[in-house]
Each structure stands twice: as structure tokens, then as C-alpha cells.
Amino acid sequence: MLRLNPIAAALLGVAALPAMAQDPLSYARYDQVRTTDLHLDLKADFARKTLDGYAELSLNWLDKNAKSLVLDTRQLSIARVQTLDASGHWRAASYMLDRPDAKKGQALRIALATQPEKVRIYYHTAPTASALQWLTPAQTLSGKRPFMFSQSEQIDARSWAPVQDTPAVRFTYSARIQAPQGMRVVMSAEGDQQATGAGGWNFRMPQPIPSYLLAIAVGELELRNLGPRTAVYAEPGRIEAAAYELADTEKMVAAAESLYGPYRWGRYDMLVLPPSFPIGGMENPRMTFLTPTMIAGDRSLNDLIAHELAHSWSGNLVTNASWKHWWLNEGFTTYVTTRIVEALYGKEVADMNLQVEQEEAMASLKEIPAAKQSLLTRDPDTNPANYTDEGLAYPKGAWLLHTLEDRVGRDVFDPFLRGWFDQHAFQSATTEQFVTYLRKNLLEKHPEAMSDAELDEWLYGAGIPASAQHIASPRLAALDARRDAWLKGELPTIELGAKDWIALEWMHFLNDIDQKANVAQLKELDEAYSLRTSQNNEIAFRFYLASVHAGYNVRDPLNVFLMHVGRQKFVVPLYGAMLKNPSEASWGKSLYLKARPRYHPETQASVDKLMKKN
């Protein structure tokens, strides 16, 4: 790389720059200059496990005195940097990389004599890039070709593109990606369904997005159109099952639009990824990434699709300005999800879904330190270590919105929430901005809905406020009565009536009997309802967890499950339960040694941490 001479160092003003920009997880000085557009020209090299090419950034200079551009990178090998001069020629630019930080990566500091409209960075990624997982053919369904996919949220986009990696900055983007013959490239952008990849796969995202929504996948993929603006992509061996499972997607889009206004992203396509994908779904605009664990064969887990679709309004359209305000993305989306589920499947199903959500939230409080139980911290946004629990933000944030809806009625609350999305579309927002909007557009007209003190408790207090209304589903209440009688031995297993239960009822029941049911009861349950062979991963996971806790032997199906499922939500608790059971700890460790190569690095890190503790 080019070395900095003293003049370049002076231009960069390295010594004068503060250690952090506004977002503590980004080095970017987006108060000085902002990326308005990104173009990527990259080649996917599966032999080297790298993306190689260049990124071209279009810039809007806010500070007319600024003479440097600071970008976020992690493990990127920079070959050269160029700037576009006034005559249209590309000129070499001096640059330097800071020493790497374990979490934030390295700042790329580009010295500039002027304020160019465009900058190009030639680079390649590392085989260990945190956002990219390179799968061998053996880790795919067909076993014929390798596969690669990205997961950029929260700050991993910097490991595959030099960007201002903060949700405070939004930009449009385009890309040309070269990939091996016989493999399809998809991205979180407009693409051509009829493209063959000759000369590269081309994409365009005309709506501005934050960097964490940059997404790419390359593999042996087929597609099925589900409607005029929806489609699913998956490996050939999974495409038919995926298309069946996701057949209601077009109806979901229409239901969401009826509540919160037009879908503003053009198409809503989905990609079902290989099993190692570590989370349930990622709301990449135009191309939601999904775990195959949501394929149950009966469309019973489609609330996951509703959640990722809901992000098209909350998160993608209106984005948390920094990760301190995470609840604005996930709490709002969890609320919207329930409304979409109700619109499609009725209030009875939505209420069951909401009750299970609230019960799991209350149960999670036992594992979360009180200081982390608020929706956000009062501390200045300078230290991410002070951020509050990410998982609790989903149900607690939604609970706050359900409370407001219940007190003012939907006739008032729905236009209020749609107004939030409309007035802040394609913008990044803070909690303070939402509170200002809330007070002006709802609480001034309906002061009885929530006092300042109660709002303060919701935002900054520990746990769930005592004023929170707990949803009570009559259908689940009847189930609870049968469950209690069954646990006491007063109701035979065969008379539970569980053959007619939907997935939500099973999830509720299994949550409640975990660490209460004994080996004999679990054996009867298994024999009566074939739970060890359930095709519904949410049900199977909960049954395996209760079985490990009780000491009921499910090693054979659990071995298959953990060798083929990489979703952290399932994997981490199951290994944790085995490690706490003396009779299963050694077997669990040996299983992990076999399964570990199949897992995503995030999942590996989480289980590795458990193993070290034990």
C-alpha cells in the first residue's frame, strides 16, 4: 500500500481527529462527509474464500474544510486508493490503516488535497471476514457446489466493503459481481430474474439503505415466483418446500400495506439459506434472508416471515440512528408482526402468539441483569458496553406500543404509527425523536394514555412495568388447565387433546413443562405425539430442551438436529442444557466437536464460550 508522507499525514489531520465519531462503533466522520452512493465491482473466489475488486463511493461533503475521508474496515487488504479529479481522471491517493481493534476493526484514513466527488478503494476480503461464511459443497443440500452468504448486521459490513459502517448513514448502491459458472448471485437490491451471470451479475438499489442492510449470497440456487412482486430462492433440493411454505407472502405484503401504507421497496423476495445461517431471518431489503428451520411443512411458522416483512417499515424504512436505539427497529417490528398475523390468521391466533411472546419475555428477565433490562440507557452514546439487552428489546418495545394502542384505540393509534413511518421514511432516528413525535402527535391529544413517569419507566426502567397489560388467550387458558392436570398425573397423556394443537399451543405447553415434567411423562408424550421426529423445529427444540433437563434420552434425534441446524436460538440453549446435565455433558462436548464446522462463526463463538465456562 502507499505509505503516508508527512504532508499526507498533515492533510489527514490524524492527531487532531477524535478517537470516535458520533457512533461509537464507527470510525467514520459522517459529520464531515457522507456516502450517498456505493458501487461494488467484485469477484467471488471460492478457492481463496475472498471477494476481490473495488468499491466506489460517491460523497457529499458537509464540512467544507475537511480534507480526509475515514472509512470502517475489518481485515480488508487494501491494494490502492484513487480519487476522481475535476477533469474526470482517477488519481492515486495516500492512505493509512489504523491498528486493528478487536471489535471495530481498522479505520481507513484517506488523505485528500481537495474534496472529490468519488473515491475508489481496490481491495480483497479475508477468508475469515466476519460477515461472510464460505460453505464447502458438503455443507450444502446437493453436495455439488460451495455456497457463500453474508450477515452484515450490526457492524460486519466493514469486513467485506470499506464503508461508513453506521446506521446513521444511508446510501443507494449498485454492484457487478462475478461468480463461478453454474452459481447464482443474489443481493439486497434489484436484480434480473432472467440473468445468466455472463459478464457478471448486476444489481441496483435505488432506495437509500444503511450499511448493515448490504447483503450478498452466491450458490446453487433456483427461484419460484409467488406473486407479482414476491419470489423465493433456495437450493434446488429445498425450493419446492420453500415455495409451499411461503405461498402466503403476497397476502402478507397486502395486509401490511393496509395497515401502514405502501410497500416502498419494489419487490419482496426471500432467500432460504443453508442450515448454518445463525439467526431466524435478516430483513435485507428486497431480499430477506431466512433460516430453513422455518420450513415446517404446514406454514405454521410464518410469523417469522411477517416479522421480516414488517421490517420494511420499521428498521429498513425508519432505522435506529445507532445501536443504542435498537428497540426502534426490533420493538416496533415485533408489534407490527402481531398486527400482520392478526390480519391474516385472526385475533385468536394473534393473541396466542402475543401471550407466548409476553410469557417468554417475563421468563427471560431471570437471566438478564436489571441494569440491562431497560429499552435504552441514559448514558451518552459513547460506550456500547452500556447498551441494554438486545433480546428483550423485541417484546418489551412491542409491549409499550400495544399498551399505547390499547389505551387510545386503533382508530387513533394506527394513523399515529403510520405517520411515524411516513414522516421519517428513509431516515435514521433516535428514541428522543420518537418521544418528541409521540408527545406532539398522540399524548398532547390523549394525555390520559400515558404519563411522563410511566413512559420513563418503559424506556429506562428495569423489567416490565406493573401497569403492563398481559394478554390472556382463552384458548391457551383452557390448555393450561389440561397441562396442570397432566403434570399432577390427573389427566392421561392421550387425553391432552394435543393432536388438534397448532404450533403456538405446542410451544406454550412445552415452555411451561420444561423442568417440571419427569422422564416418564416425557416418554409418554413422545410416544403419543412423535415429538422426537417433529418436522417443526420450534416444537422439536423445546421438546429436546425439556428432555435434556429431565434426563429423558433423546440422543439420536438430538444428534441429527444439532448436526443439521445452526440457528443460535436453538443450538446455544441445547448445548448449555447438556453441559449442565452430568450424564450428557461429555456426550454434548463430543457432539459439538463434530458439528462445530457446520456452524456459523457467530454460533461457534457463542458455544465456544459455553464450553470454556464448563
Complete DSSP assignment for 336-350: HHHHHHHHHH-HHHH
Q: Domains in the chain, ordered, with CATH?
A: 317-460 (1.10.390.10), 474-613 (1.25.40.320)
Amino acid at the residue 310: A
- For residues 57 and 27, give the distance between their C-alpha atoms in angstroms, rounded to a whole number: 16
Name 586's Cβ contacts closer than 8 Å, sequence gap at least 6: none
pTM: 0.91
- The pLDDT assigned to 12 comes to 36
- For residues 159 and 75, give the distance between their C-alpha atoms in angstroms, rounded to a whole number: 6
Cβ proximity of 31 and 166 under 8 Å:
no
Grid cell listed for 8? 499526507
Instruction: Say how many C-beta atoms besides its own lie within 10 A of residue 524's C-beta.
Output: 16
- The yes-or-no answer on residue 308 being catalytic is yes
- CA distances, 57 to each of 119, 166, 217, 285 (Å): 5, 15, 22, 20
- CA distances, 250 to each of 122, 241, 280 (Å): 40, 17, 20
Amino acid at the residue 584: E
- CA distances, 257 to each of 264, 336, 343, 438 (Å): 10, 11, 11, 22
pLDDT one-digit tens code per residue, 280-304: 899 999 999 999 999 999 998 888 9
- For residues 327 and 313, give the distance between their C-alpha atoms in angstroms, rounded to a whole number: 14
pLDDT one-digit tens code per residue, 4-45: 333 333 333 333 333 334 899 999 999 999 999 999 999 999
Complete DSSP assignment for 472-530: --HHHHHHHHHHHHHHTT-S-GGGS-GGG--HHHHHHHHHHHTTTS-HHHHHHHHHHH-
Which contiguous run of DSSP H or E holds residue 114? none
- The pLDDT assigned to 19 comes to 36
Residues of the chain with pLDDT under 50: 1-21
Cβ proximity of 301 and 353 under 8 Å:
no
Q: Which of 345, 394, 575, 599 is catalytic?
A: 394
Grid cell listed for 30? 459522517
Cβ proximity of 499 and 528 under 8 Å:
no
Grid cell listed for 69? 475521508
Find where cell 403434570 sits. Answer: 487
Residue 611 has phi, psi (to 5 degrees) of -65, -40
- For residues 403 and 88, give the distance between their C-alpha atoms in angstroms, rounded to a whole number: 57
Instruction: Say how many C-beta atoms besides its own lie within 10 A of residue 467's C-beta.
Output: 12
- The yes-or-no answer on residue 263 being catalytic is no
Q: Which of 220, 245, 283, 308 is catalytic?
A: 308
Cis peptide before 139 (omega within 30 of 0): no
Cβ proximity of 109 and 70 under 8 Å:
yes
Cβ proximity of 614 and 572 under 8 Å:
no
